[in-house]
Amino acid sequence: MRTTGRHYLAAVVQMVAGRDPEDNLGQSLAWLEEAAARGASVVVFPETFTVMGRAPAYPLNAEPPLAPGTVPAGNLKPLAEAAARLKILVVAGVPELPGAEAGSPTDQRRVYNAAVVLGPEGTVLGVYRKVHLFDADLPGGFRVRESETFLPGDAPIVLDTPLGRLGLAICYDLRFPEFMRALAAAGAEVIALPSAFTLVTGRDHWEPLLRARAIENQVYILAAEQYGCPEVGPPCLGRSMIVDPWGTVLASAPDRDCLICAEVDLDRAAEVRSILPCWAHRRPEVYGKAPHPG
């Protein structure tokens, strides 16, 4: 991997995924090759980058249950093979079939909205299953009900990787500061955020939320977005970003399919925490108390 101590180049892919996994995968492999050619050590792909379509498309094209230490057997297999060949870390958002833990047979109509980390050997390092499902009636008449298509995950994930402590979140999770704080409290230095944030909300909220989560948790955020108009549902914002622990936007994607890169310096995260020692000043014993009436 292309690292120098605690410094490395991170890449984020912005793309429009359709309902054909083969086409989406072909695009992703090309982006992975370009990222490697630029010297990137990690590449983050958007939420459900292998398929975007009507609800039945997700279980039909979902990955078999993913487990750490295994090689993916579904649509992700060529991507895992390429990651191993290029010796690069990959984070990708995919639909994933539930295993036995999902419970009753009726749950089998739904799948997980997952973020999988593929190591530089091509094996699964870890899997995060989206905890917060986006159910909302948006301006413009768009009705979004993720809970009708996806099962909710039940745990945050922070992984030890060759590139430091990596936390995982997906799209709507960004709106929950307590969730992002849990990742940082577990030692995350970088948070990867595969997303398909809507244009109607994202044009006002996306960048402020990304910068706020980076500042308050003093972490890097690698946010990979879908872009443009999917076949169904509201259009996606795009504007993929890499944000540093000071809240500075190091890279921002234009309005098209593209790859953006920026340097991650984990020593910078430690420096920010020493300049602004918020973690040392936290008083969690107070936060659970009911506020006084006045």
Sign, CA dihedral 23-12-203-181, equals positive
Average pLDDT of every residue of the chain = 93
Q: In the chain, where are the structural domains located?
A: 3-287
Q: Residue 91: beta bridge partners?
A: 44, 117
How confident is the model over 253-267, as a mean pLDDT?
A: 96
CA–CA separation, 31 vs 82, rounded Å?
11
Backbone angles phi, psi at 207, to 5 degrees: -65, -45
Is residue 229 part of the annotated active site? The answer reads no
Side-chain-side CA neighbours of 14 within 13 Å: the count stands at: 24
The tokens for 13 are 């892919």
Query: For 134-265, where are the alpha helices, taking DSSP H only?
Result: 177-185, 199-217
Which pLDDT tens digit goes with each residue over 174-201? 999 999 999 999 999 999 999 999 999 9
Q: What is the pLDDT of residue 228?
A: 87
Amino acid identity of 137? D
Active site residue 258: no
Q: What is the pLDDT of residue 105?
A: 46
Q: Which fold, 3-287?
A: Nitrilase/N-carbamoyl-D-aminoacid amidohydrolase (3.60.110)
- Predicted confidence (pLDDT) per residue in 134-164, tens digit: 999 988 888 899 999 999 999 999 999 999 9
Residue 214: alpha-carbon gap to chain centroid: 14
- Catalytic annotation, pick one of 146, 171, 189, 225: 171
Q: Which two tokens stand for residue 112?
A: 């997980």
For residues 12 and 259, give the distance between their C-alpha atoms in angstroms, rounded to a whole number.
Answer: 6
Helix (H, G, I), strand (E, B) or coil at 123: coil
pTM confidence score = 0.94
pLDDT tens digits for range 31-59: 999 999 999 999 999 999 999 988 889 99
Catalytic residue at 178?
no
Any idea what DSSP says for residue 255?
Answer: S
Map tokens 């009911």 to a residue. 290
pLDDT at 233 over 80: no
Out of 96, 130, 146, 189, which one is annotated catalytic? 130
